[in-house]
Each structure stands twice: as C-alpha cells, then as structure tokens.
Amino acid sequence: MKLPTDIGKDCARAWEAMPWSLQHSASHEQDEWLTQHLSRCEACRAEFEQQSHLRLAISLPPDIPVDADAGLRRLLARIDAPDTHATTQRPRTSWVTRALVAAVLVQAVGIGVLGARLWSENQPEYRTLSQATAPLPSGAIHVVPDDTMKLADWNGLLHSLHLQVISGPNEVGAYTVVASGASASSKDALQKLRTTHGIRLAEPIASAP
Amino acid sequence: MNEADIDADATDRMLLQRMSAGDRAALAVLYRSYHGRLCRFLSRLTRRPDVIEEVINDCFWIAWQKAGTFHGDSRVSTWIIGIAYRCGLKALRQHGDEPVEEDMQEDRFPAHCPDEDRELRDWLAKGLSRLSADQRVVVELVYGLGHTLDDVAVIMQCPVGTVKARLFHARVKLRNTLPALAGEPPIRKESMP
C-alpha cells in the first residue's frame, strides 16, 4: 500500500472529493474522475469504502427515543400561552433592572455623602489676605474698661446705654460693643462712655476703606 | 443542490410563509418533517432525550416567531439547523456537556433495530466518541444531513476554513480508529495530504 505522501496530488484530490461524491453533490466530471482513480488506487478505494460505511451508519434513524407528537403538543401549548411565557420572563428582567438601579442609586448617595464630608473637611482654617473679613455692624465701639471696674458696674453701664458686647476682650482688654436697640444712638453712647468713670478708652471702629 | 433538494426547499419556504401568517398546521408539518433529522443531529451533542426535545421545541419556537423575517439567504434547512445548533449549545451550557456514551445501552435501540444496524451504530458510536463535539457536528452535517461546507459554515457561524479543518481532522481520526474497531488494521496512521 502506498503511503499518502507518495500518492501525490491525485489521492489528495480524491480525499477532498469523497464526501461530496457520497452525498451526490459532486459534478458528473468529478464523480467520473473519482471512479477512475479508485479503480487504480487501492488505498483510496479502502478509504472510500470506509467513508461509504460511515455515511451509511450516520444516516441511520436516531437511536434516542423522542416522541415527535408529544413534543409538538408541548410546543403548541407553549405557543398558546405566550403571555405566561412573557410574564415568567418579565419579572426576571425587571428584578435585575431594579436591582441595578437600586445599586446605582445607593452608590450615587454614598458618593454624594462622602463628597460633602470631604468638602467640609477641606475647608481651610486660615484666611487669605484677599478674602474679606467678616464685616462689623455700623456704630461698633471699642471699649476698654479699667481693671478695677466691677463686673456689676460694667453690666449696669452696658444696660443703661443699651449696649451689647459682640466680641472681646482682645489681647489688650478691649471689648467690641454695639447699640442693642434701634432707638439707641452709638454717638450718644460713645460720649457717655467717655465720660463714665472707670472707662479708660472708648473709640468708634472706623469702617473699612 | 439537486432537484429533490430544490423541491424540498420550496416546500419549506411555503410552510414558513404560512407560519408567518399564524398557520399552525404548517408549523406541525415542518416540525414533523425536521424532527428525525434534528433528533439525530442533536444526539451528536447530547444523549439526553429531554434535552433534545427541549432544544427542538426552542428551535421551532424561534422559527415560529421569526418565520416572517426569513429572507431566503440560505436554504430553510440550513436556517433551521443553525437555530437548532445554537439552541443546542445554549442547552449544553445549562445542562452540562455530555459526551457520546462509550458503552451502548441495550434500551437505546428501537425494538425493531436489526442486529446489522446495531453493529453499525456501535461501530459509529465508538468512532464518534473519539471526536470533539464540533467535529461530530461537522461529520453529521456533511455525511448525515448532506450539507455543503458553505452551509456548515453558516450553521456553525464560523469561516469555511474552520469547517474544512474540523472535517479533515475528524476524517483522519475516524480513518485511524474505525477499521481497528471493526477488527481490521488501520488503513494508515499518517495524516492525509
């Protein structure tokens, strides 16, 4: 028996042609050529015989019992109930979609909360020269009471002049006071403060230029 | 494609057209005419009758719904077998791949199965068990269902070259194993040109 490498192109061509000749899709010329080749090539003849055997075996009816009528009945029942099929599919899709939407929303809320916290933590605890200072109310007065002045006298003085401390004392002992009532005049209060015993300094705060 | 194939395809197209108009009788005719072919084709992928029936019904469920969209780019048989192939792969993913059984079960054969057929089936089953699932499918499509390489490429949604390679390797494996299974020495162990 000749080896395939020795057989040459004809055997390769015969090998290619066999399935199509067996399934009767080869042209008449191809069939004739193959018949002639098989008559003089023992190896290809044996191969073709085995291929014929293979085709015969593979064309046998299926050996697994599947009832066509029962299958068709089930298919028609499935077609008759398309809504059932649709409703069984819909919640699954809907549930998945809802879960995804919920997950995205939770993530968005989480990112928002974290972002807000991060932003608030990042607020600087210093002020740049270009930033405006918190404006003092108009008519504010710096007052420096004497060290010997009693707290009751100080409170009484503020009360009588309708003044209210809004900050202080600072590093030199000055309080910032403003008139607490709409009727009270800061100019009158300033004059009275300057004449009051126990007040070392009373100066209006100049507004920013 | 010979005249018989052309006639069969024309009938199938007519049935599809009627199905697209909701004709269930046409569906029943097409179902019965393809049932045997699909059973045998799918038996190369799985041995479970319940999975085979499920795949056939999934295939015809799709064919029923898409009958109106068939434009005739291929034969109806190519279209239907292609749907069945994809449904079969999907079912295998769901149920798990099961190779062709090595041992033939007595109850697998129909009661009328003659001894000669049984011997032939045994010989074939042992030969196919040496092939991959893709190679078994190609062998069935070419030798069993009589499809061309172009048809098989459409069915398996792969290039013709891939189909050729699968068929070539399947044939080489079979030629080396089948004679031995029949008690004969292999024709030759080498690969073909």
For residue B137, what pLDDT band results from cuts at 50, 70 and 90? very high
State yes or no: ipTM above 0.85.
no
> In A183-200, which positions are buried (b, 16+ CB within 10 angstroms) versus exposed (e)?
eeebeebbeebeebeebe
CB-based contact B110 A61, cutoff 8 Å: yes
Nearest residue in B to A55, CA atom: B143
Task: Name the residue among B121, B123, B144 with its Cβ closest to that of A63.
Answer: B121
CB-based contact A65 B110, cutoff 8 Å: yes
Can you state the percent helix, strand and coil of chain B, rounding each to 5?
70, 0, 30
* Six-digit token string for B117: 């057929």
How far is CA B5 from each of CA A24, B32, B75, B79, rounded to the nearest angstrom? 11, 17, 9, 14
Can you give the pLDDT at residue B56?
95
Can you give the pLDDT at residue A188?
84
CB-based contact A63 B43, cutoff 8 Å: yes
From chain B residues 22-51, the ones with a CB under 8 A of any chain A CB are: 24, 27-28, 31-32, 35-36, 39-40, 43, 47, 49
Q: Nearest CA to CA, how far is A109 from chain B (Å)?
A: 38
Say if residue B159's pLDDT is above 50.
Answer: yes
Say if residue B53's pLDDT is above 60.
Answer: yes
- In this prediction, the residues of chain A whose per-residue pLDDT falls under 50 are 1-4, 6, 87, 89-90, 208-209
From chain B residues 71-130, the ones with a CB under 8 A of any chain A CB are: 108-110, 113, 117, 120-121, 123-124, 127
Assess contact for B159 and B153: CB atoms under 8 A.
yes
Can you give the pLDDT at residue B193?
47
Q: Which residues in chain A have their CB less than 8 angstroms from residue B123's CB?
A: 53, 57
Average pLDDT, chain B: 83
Rounded (5°) CA angle B177-B183-B188? 45
- pTM of the prediction? 0.62
Rounded (5°) CA angle A155-A157-A158? 65
CB-based contact A50 B187, cutoff 8 Å: yes
**Cα separation, A61 vs B37, whole angstroms:** 8
